[in-house]
Amino acid sequence: MRTDFQTEQLTDPAVAEADGILRKCVHCGFCTATCPTYVMLGDELDSPRGRVYLIKNMLEGGAAPDERTVRHIDRCLSCLSCMTTCPSGVDYMHLLDGARARIEEQYRRPLAERWLRALLAYVLPRPGLFRLALQGARLAKPFAALAPGRLRAMLAMAPDKLPAASDLDRPQVHPAQSERRMRVAMLTGCAQQVLDPDINAATIRLLTRLGCDVVVARDAGCCGALTHHMGRESEAMASIRANVAAWTAELDGAGLDAVVINASGCGTTVKDYGHILAGDPNWADAAKRISELALDITELLQRLEMPASKMAQPVKVAYHAACSLQHGQKIVTAPKQLLEQAGFEVMAVPEGHLCCGSAGTYNLLQPELAGRLLERKAGNIRSLSPDVVAAGNIGCMVQLGSGLDIPVVHTVELLDWATGGPKPAGL
């Protein structure tokens, strides 16, 4: 793709990076076939190729983004399916991140939307506050039908029962229960530890059983993904630097062999810390070290080698491949192989490359499109008649759970159960 940036524009590192990304696009259109919004809407501007043009025009023009540009970029799920498809290696993820930061800085949204985005960005990364918000939402849920669209979607997704907070998520070291093989830090997450603390509990049980000291580092918190993908860079950077500092203290102290992450949306961002802070001389080296240590839980489990299964009978598992895992981190086979080795009958979901509609806060900000994607995904899952659905990302689990009457549990909960842990509560 030809670009026409002025020399002075290219002195901005963000514009210079975007220019390099844009020039790789050859307009082939392969991305349109796997883009969920284009598949649904059939609008070129709701395809990756169309959005690339919108971003190019926005950056070259230098003016504040217009409503049309913002609308079509807002509809992007950040599922990154286009990056899996692209034969030219266009780095759409970083191009989109830069565009969203520009929009947040220069575009003034309607008051109600500004309020909603600010609320989500403030509440979701703070587990204590998020728990209070969900308790309030439970009280308001019977009146959800009277609420406006986006608020109605938020109330509808509030769980009927909220699990108690877990002491396991507090700063501490969970010691290995067998001969020590590794010392790893675990990201406890923000929304996940409120919505489903059993995921972290299963992770800790499994890793300590396999010989890992599991560290919950003091001052580590939200990974920053939520605010980063909303273009709220100052808030995202604060979260990212806090985590880098917390894990670096452990790395330089007793040492770390890995930073393990059991929410793939978080994992994609943590693995990108080195890129995000590359331009900050005070943080670049430390962020790069942390990114290089970051592993999805299934990657780490493959390195540790799982013990033999203790399953009494086979269970049919529909494996939902989270976009952030298969497209963002390029982890495709590990979860399925681990489940099969553990004795489960694993079935791939048809149209597995298409997003379920969760996508961070997408199902709250774009509930109509997210609902259509959920309906499509749920139909594909039902066609398999599984006993349970396994996924590696809490956002997907909440989204799928709202549209299915089939249990949805985390992959690590099934692996823990198969190797001596308790049966997942969801079953």
Q: What is the 3-state secondary structure (H, E, C) of 97-126?
A: HHHHHHHHHHCCCCHHHHHHHHHHHHHCCC
Q: What are the tens digits of pLDDT across the range 136-159?
A: 887 777 777 767 667 777 777 778
Q: What is the mean pLDDT of residues 213-241?
A: 96
Residues counted in the chain = 427
- Percent of the residues in the chain that have a pLDDT greater than 90, as a whole number: 88
Structure tokens at 401: 């759970």
User: Domain containing 47 — which CATH number?
Assistant: 1.10.1060.10
In a domain, 353, yes or no: yes
DSSP-assigned beta bridge partners for residue 391: 410
In a domain, 2, yes or no: no
User: Domain containing 177 — which CATH number?
Assistant: 3.40.50
181 and 137, same structural domain? Answer: no
Q: What is the mean pLDDT of residues 360-366?
A: 93
Q: What is the mean pLDDT of residues 5-17?
A: 93
348 and 259, same structural domain? Answer: no
Structure tokens at 247: 């894990």
Q: What is the dihedral of CA 362, 230, 26, 63, to 10 degrees?
A: 130
Measure the CA–CA gap between 376 and 389, rounded to whole angstroms: 15
Closest CA to 426 of 399, 394, 392, 389: 389
Count: domains in the chain: 4
51 and 145, same structural domain? Answer: no
Q: How many CB atoms lie within 10 A of CB 57?
A: 13
Closest CA to 270 of 250, 241, 298, 249: 241
150 and 172, same structural domain? Answer: no
Reported confidence tier of residue 312, pLDDT bands at 50, 70, 90: confident
The mean predicted confidence, pLDDT, of the chain is 94
Q: How much is the pLDDT for 181?
A: 95
Q: What are the tens digits of pLDDT across the range 281-304?
A: 999 999 999 999 999 999 999 999
184 and 91, same structural domain? Answer: no
131 and 88, same structural domain? Answer: no
In a domain, 354, yes or no: yes
Measure the CA–CA gap between 340 and 272, rounded to whole angstroms: 30
> Of 264, 284, 301, which residue constitutes the final position of a domain?
301
Closest CA to 123 of 109, 135, 105: 135
In a domain, 341, yes or no: yes
In a domain, 116, yes or no: yes
283 and 190, same structural domain? Answer: yes
Q: What are the tens digits of pLDDT across the range 327-353?
A: 999 999 999 999 999 999 999 999 999
Q: Are 99 and 73 in contact (CB under 8 A)?
A: yes
Closest CA to 126 of 4, 227, 275: 227
179 and 262, same structural domain? Answer: yes
Q: How much is the pLDDT for 148?
A: 67
297 and 172, same structural domain? Answer: yes
Q: At 426, which amino acid appears? A: G
Residue 148 backbone phi and psi in degrees, to 5: -65, 165
117 and 98, same structural domain? Answer: no
Q: How much is the pLDDT for 63?
A: 87
226 and 313, same structural domain? Answer: no
Measure the CA–CA gap between 75 and 303, rounded to whole angstroms: 38
In a domain, 75, yes or no: yes
267 and 200, same structural domain? Answer: yes
Q: What is the mean pLDDT of residues 36-58?
A: 96
Structure tokens at 2: 């030809």
Residue 321's domain comprises: 308-418
Q: At 50, which amino acid appears? A: G
Q: 3-class DSSP state for residue 6?
A: coil
Q: What are the tens digits of pLDDT across the range 103-138?
A: 999 999 999 899 999 999 999 999 999 999 998 887
In a domain, 425, yes or no: no
Side by side, which strands form the sheet with 345-348?
Answer: 345-348, 316-319, 388-391, 408-410
> Of 157, 187, 217, which residue constitutes the final position of a domain?
157
User: Domain containing 346 — which CATH number?
Assistant: 3.40.50.1860
In a domain, 194, yes or no: yes
Residue 224 backbone phi and psi in degrees, to 5: 95, -5
Reported confidence tier of residue 183, pLDDT bands at 50, 70, 90: very high
